[in-house]
């Protein structure tokens, strides 16, 4: 069984405490649902895989939705811990991002985040190919670059911003996200993948 993590978050600029509180509640829901699905799968399988084939199939399909929701939110909230910190341009990450994106990385990730539909704008790193990959994961589990570690996870579901900015306020939320981002966390993730 997984346990919901606690995050040591400062007050954020442009993302209200109430929004963060509700958002953490949603994260805890993913942990709870993942545990519940895992338990139910065992129960149904014991009862008979043929008899419960439809239920098993549906739960197995939902498993990665809940798991990825759990893990992506853990990556997301951790990025605010320690307070905002700008990217160190002399760090390994700073140099590698500049070499690949020539200063437009943040605007590029915001553009991905501004795409329609619920999902995540994500920066991955491919250690084998020695290059970054950026992508939009639909909901939480679709369109991932399988096997690639995640360096930065930007939640762009409406629940992340609707309380503070309304349904059309995603661009303002994207600005607020980067104002609060602790790039030191992202730099550490980059170092951890052996880049």
**Which chain residues interact with Fe ion by CB under 5 A?**
155, 157
Q: Which is nearer to Fe ion, 7 or 157 (CB)?
A: 157
Question: CB of residue 161 vs Fe ion: minimum separation in angstroms?
Answer: 10
Question: CB of residue 19 vs Fe ion: minimum separation in angstroms?
Answer: 10
Question: CB of residue 59 vs Fe ion: minimum separation in angstroms?
Answer: 22
Question: CB of residue 120 vs Fe ion: minimum separation in angstroms?
Answer: 8
Rounded Cα gap, residues 170 and 158, in angstroms: 8
Rounded Cα gap, residues 61 and 21, in angstroms: 29
Would you give the distance in Å from CA 190 to the centre of its chain?
16
Picking from 92, 78, 90, 67, the residue whose alpha carbon sits closest to that of residue 1 is 67
Q: Which is nearer to Fe ion, 76 or 190 (CB)?
A: 76
Q: Which is nearer to Fe ion, 69 or 184 (CB)?
A: 69
Q: Which is nearer to Fe ion, 126 or 164 (CB)?
A: 164
Question: CB of residue 101 vs Fe ion: minimum separation in angstroms?
Answer: 25
Question: CB under 8 Å, gap of 24 or more: what pairs does 10-13 form?
Answer: 10/80, 10/81, 10/82, 10/83, 12/80, 12/176, 12/180, 13/84, 13/176, 13/179, 13/180
Q: Which is nearer to Fe ion, 77 or 190 (CB)?
A: 77
């Amino acid at each position: 069984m997984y346990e919901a993590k606690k995050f040591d978050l400062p007050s954020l600029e442009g993302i209200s405490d109430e929004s963060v509180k509700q958002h953490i509640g949603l994260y805890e829901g993913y942990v709870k649902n993942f545990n519940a699905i895992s338990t139910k799968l065992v129960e149904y399988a014991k009862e008979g895989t043929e008899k419960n084939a439809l239920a098993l199939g549906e739960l197995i399909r939902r498993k990665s939705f809940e798991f990825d929701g759990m893990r992506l939110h853990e990556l997301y909230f951790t990025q605010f811990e320690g307070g905002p910190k700008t990217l160190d341009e002399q760090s390994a990450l700073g140099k590698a991002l500049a070499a690949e994106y020539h200063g437009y990385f943040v605007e590029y990730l915001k553009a991905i985040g501004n795409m329609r539909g619920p999902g995540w704008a994500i920066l991955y790193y491919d250690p084998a190919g020695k290059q970054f990959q950026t992508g939009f994961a639909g909901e939480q589990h679709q369109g991932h670059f399988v096997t690639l570690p995640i360096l930065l996870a930007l939640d762009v579901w409406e629940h992340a911003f609707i309380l503070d900015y309304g349904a059309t306020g995603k661009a303002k939320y994207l600005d607020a996200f980067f104002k609060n981002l602790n790039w030191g966390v992202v730099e550490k993730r980059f170092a951890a993948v052996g880049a």
